[in-house]
Amino acid sequence: MKKGFTLTELLVSIVIITMLLMVVLPTINGIMNKNNDELCSSYKEMVIEYAMVSDKKENDTINLSDLDGLDKVKKECTGYISVDKTTTPYTYTPHLTCPKCPNLS
């Protein structure tokens, strides 16, 4: 008696694995997109908070490179924060460009 798998058994196994991947991969992709969105919004919040406590908030714009701290954000993103002084309290609007965050600005 020969040992091994028949062609039919191998094909059925491949079909089952393919069907599982078709279900799992979109779910994983959705989770990764959600995590990137959360990362981008946390970057935005951190930049605003740092700009609010910065000694440079009297400027109309604050470059991201001028803020102390935020090393991870500065490594991944570039941009500036505009300060609207016509409102009380001031309104801070980040204008960031990050490869992971195409819709951040």
Q: How high is the mean pLDDT of the chain?
A: 84
Asked whether the whole model's pTM tops 0.85, one would answer: no
Contact 91, 78 (CB under 8 A): no
Contact 94, 79 (CB under 8 A): yes
CA triple 72-73-79, angle to 5 deg: 150
Contact 61, 83 (CB under 8 A): yes
- List, for residues 50-91, the tens digit of each pLDDT value: 888 876 667 788 888 777 777 878 888 888 888 888 888 888
